[in-house]
Structure 1
Amino acid sequence: MKEILKSVARSFYLTIRFLPRPLREPVSLAYLLARATDTLADTATIPAATRLTTLQAFARVIAGELEFDAVAEALRNFAAQQSDPPERTLIENLDGCIAWLARMEPADRADIRAVLQTIVQGQELDVRRFGDPAGLTPLRTAAELDEYTYLVAGCVGEFWTKLGFRHFPAFAKRPADQMTKLGIDYGEGLQLINVLRDRGADAAAGRGYLPAEELATDAEGKVFARWLGKAEEKISAGLDYCSSLTNWRIRFATVLPALIGARTIALLRAAGPAAEKIKVPRKEVRRILLAALAASISPSALRALFQRLLARL
């Protein structure tokens, strides 16, 4: 599973290795399962109805309500449709992920099941809303976008925080309720960046996440700028989250998405809403990683690095 995680997680894998083992194991497995369910939801060569029923069935397998054999044939069909070798390998090895889940400590297993249940709710909504790629179907309201970002990403902040406080009582300088709120904002901010960064590809696939009600009354650039500002606010909450962590290894493993997110926001702001997909180059990601490794010893140094990345053009 380590090699599969390395091949599909990329930047995330660079830092997850630094997590203490009590966090590294459940976080790694939750990532693989969420990546797999995302693949099931997004395999456009398979009809939406089949994607939905397979996603729901596999969610029941994760929840312990259904045996893996009940979905094995369907998963083989999905694996055959994957053009990306790491994604195909992941789907082909989901029986190993379920076996790994069974070996987890009961509390960790329960947390993984809970967060995957929430994530799959968001993925199911995506399939129902955007199952027909023939025409663009945007979300209607800001509330729908807020719901979506919580379901597929904000809940991960809750999961991370719950794991952290259970395994490390001195996990953070702030109390658990404050860290949970910051963690939710952090996850939602990361997903908003994905929404803004991937708008072109999503439109080509018949998806639109910026609210139709706002686009009907304001210029696209204004709506884009408004949500980019919200993404920055939430990513800044993520920086607060990371700065509050007491263990430098956990701080380092947690902060890299915020730093890459800050750099992505700067690129999106400079490029504007009409730009093609924005992505931080892999070489720059590695430079950010090295800078984060040095800065993670000091929360103030992390804040300074975050601000530099947010401002850089």
Structure 2
Amino acid sequence: MTSFNVISDSLSSDNFPNGFTPNPARHRTQRQVGCSAGARAGRQYDLRQNDLLTMSPRLWFIECPTMSPLSADTVNDLLRTTARSFYLTLRVLPGAVRQQIGLAYLLARTTDTIADTEIIPLAQRLQALELLRARFLGSPAGPVDFRDLAEHQGSPAEKILLEKAGASLALLATLSAADLQLVREVLVTITSGQELDLRRFAGAGAGKIAALKTADELEDYTYRVAGCVGEFWTKLCRAHLFPRAELDEAQLVADGIRFGRGLQLVNILRDLPADLKNGRCYLPADRLAAAGLAPETLLSAGNAGNFLPLYHGYLDEAEAHLAAGWRYTNTLPFSQCRVRLACAWPVLLGARTIQKLRGADPAALQLRVKVSRQEVHGVLLRSLASYPLPCLWRRQFPSAGKLLHQA
């Protein structure tokens, strides 16, 4: 799992209590979005910030001479069925940034789906990713036709996602020049991480486990597939939502990167058994060797004495990154309630996942630790209830100050 989808799988729209729809702000603003280059000249649409992802089909309707329009219903269905945990974040985000982040997610999920389709030969997947990277950069690198890849998808949503890749790419033309540059940068970085991952684990399998070599490789990987998303998110929200706010921008970007890296590291630690079965070990070989461990026997009961201290060290690192994410969340202007909630939920659920992982032995890790639906509801409701009271709000991540001091 890479890129935007680094939040616990427990956090999804299906986990809302009946009738619960986050809507912390009732104010409405309007903006005009023109059509793409292929659209009818002069047509503009009035969009309301509070329509969330049930907005009028006019938002995502693109007319191009070479493809069918991509309607709002199609886009929203794709986001709801493929975004899973990230869909909640999209629902709560302000309208000024929702379209850009939603589109970046769809395209990143498209590349992720291609990279993960193991039944397709490696060379073909790499070629498809290279084609998409070129198109992200604006190069007319040939038609985007992934119907052959789509036929191998078990998920109907991912099948449609690949079939509509060309139409999704056309939506880039709706973005401003500044937003387009940010979206391009994050997608190219994510794609580079996916390509590196495919090459690194080429030929790996249950009987032949490959591991990252060094801590630097792990840091590079978590930046490429998640840290860069924090950087993108920060720059986009800064430009559209609080451009005049007085804050340390360099520190905010750095914390945004750590935020993303922390979420990805939580996923790596949670998914360790499944990755090992697929021949992938994201814990660096040099650290394993120093602890007297090897990827092939990492989770053996007899190695628990060596494995658990190493594993808990990585949990400490992930928690420190999430503490930076909590600092990031609280650095954002208090008036940006939607963005702060969208950041707080993955931080708090990631921290809860870490708590569960700390209490698991190698055998329990095989069952894949998850935050329960009840716990998700509790995090959502407590965050909403405590938001007007900063002291209570900050206590939701009580160890943040201590962890940041240690980091």
Residues 154-179 of structure 1: per-residue CA shift (max 9 Å, x gap) = 11111011111111235766321110
In the TM superposition, what is the alpha-carbon distance from 1:236 to its structure 2 partner? 0.6
Residue equivalent to 1:127: 198
Work out whether residues 68 and 95 of structure 1, in 8 Å CA contact, stay in contact via their aligned partners in 2.
no
In 1, Cα distance between the equivalents of 2:193 and 2:80?
25
Long gaps (5+) in structure 2: 1-74, 292-305, 401-407
Structure 1 pair 220–172 and aligned structure 2 pair: CA distance change class (3 A): farther
Cα distance change of structure 1 residues 241 and 298 upon mapping to structure 2, 3 Å threshold? farther
Residue in 1 that maps onto 2:48: none
Q: How much does 1:237 deviate?
A: 0.4
Moved more, 226-235 or 241-250: 241-250
Q: Say whether residues 1:267 and 2:356 are aligned partners.
A: yes
Shift of 1:283: 4.3
- Shift in Å, 1:273: 4.2
Shift of 1:147: 0.6
CA contact (8 A) 1:224 1:273 kept: no
Distance 1:86 1:302, change over 3 A: farther
Q: Which residue of 1 aligns with 2:122?
A: 48
Contact kept in structure 2, 1:182 and 1:241, CA below 8 Å = yes
Secondary structure (helix, strand or coil) at the match of 1:64 reads coil
Does residue 1:111 correspond to 2:190, yes or no? Answer: no
Which letter maps to 2:180? Answer: R
Q: Does 1:200 align with 2:291?
A: no
In the alignment, the residues of structure 2 paired with residue 236 and residue 228 of structure 1 have an alpha-carbon distance, to the nearest angstrom, of 12
Shift in CA distance, 299/48, structure 1 to aligned 2, threshold 3 Å: farther
Where does 1:215-226 land on structure 2 (aligned, <5 Å)?
215-218=288-291, 219-226=306-313
* RMSD of Structure 2 on Structure 1 (CA): 1.9
Shifted more, 110-119 versus 59-68: the winner is: 59-68
Matched letter for residue 185 of structure 2: A
Q: Which has a greater percent of helix?
A: 1
Query: What amino acid maps onto 1:231 in structure 2?
Result: A
Supply the distance in 1 between the matched residues of 2:320 and 2:135 (Cα, whole angstroms). Answer: 37
- Three-state SS of the structure 1 residue aligned to 2:182 is helix
Secondary structure of 1:17's aligned partner = helix
8 Å contact 2:96–2:241 — kept in the other structure? no
- The secondary structure found in structure 1 opposite 2:213 is coil
Q: Give 1:65-84 correspondences, 5 Å limit.
A: 65-67=139-141, 69=143, 71-72=144-145, 75-84=146-155
Amino acid paired to 1:261? G
How many residues in Structure 1 have an aligned counterpart in Structure 2?
Answer: 306
Q: Deviations over 1:269-301 (max 9, x none)?
A: 111444122222344323322222223344433
Q: Which residue of 2 aligns with 1:155?
A: 228
Aligned mates of 1:94, 1:283 — CA distance in 2: 36
AA aligned to 1:90 is L
Q: Against the structure 1 CA distance between its residues 128 and 79, is the aligned structure 2 distance closer, same or farther, given a 3 Å change threshold? A: same
2:324 to 217, 220, 237: 237
SS of equivalent residue, structure 2 residue 397: helix
Distance 1:3 1:294, change over 3 A: farther
What is the aligned partner in structure 1 of residue 256 from structure 2? Answer: 183
Q: TM-score, normalised by structure 2?
A: 0.71
- Alignment pair present for 1:22 and 2:96: yes
Q: Is the 8 A contact 1:157 1:183 kept in 2?
A: yes
Question: Counterparts of 1:273 and 1:300 in 2: how far apart (Å)?
Answer: 38
Percentage of matched positions with identical amino acids: 44
Evaluate the alpha carbon distance shift between residue 273 and residue 109 of structure 1 in structure 2; reply closer, same or farther with a 3 A threshold. Answer: farther
1:281 to 365, 372, 379: 372
Contact 1:185 1:235 in 2 (8 A): yes
Task: Tell me if the contact between 2:131 and 2:141 (Cα under 8 Å) persists in the aligned partners.
Answer: no
Structure with higher Rg: it is 2
Aligned 8 A contact 1:11 1:285 in 2: no
Greater Cα offset, 142-151 or 1-10: 1-10
Q: Give the alignment's TM-score, normalised by structure 1.
A: 0.92
Once the two structures are superposed, residues 122-165 of structure 1 have per-residue CA deviations (whole angstroms, 9 ceiling, x without a partner) of 11110001122332100011111011001110111110111111
Alignment of structure 1 residues 290-301 onto 2, 5 Å: 290-301=381-392
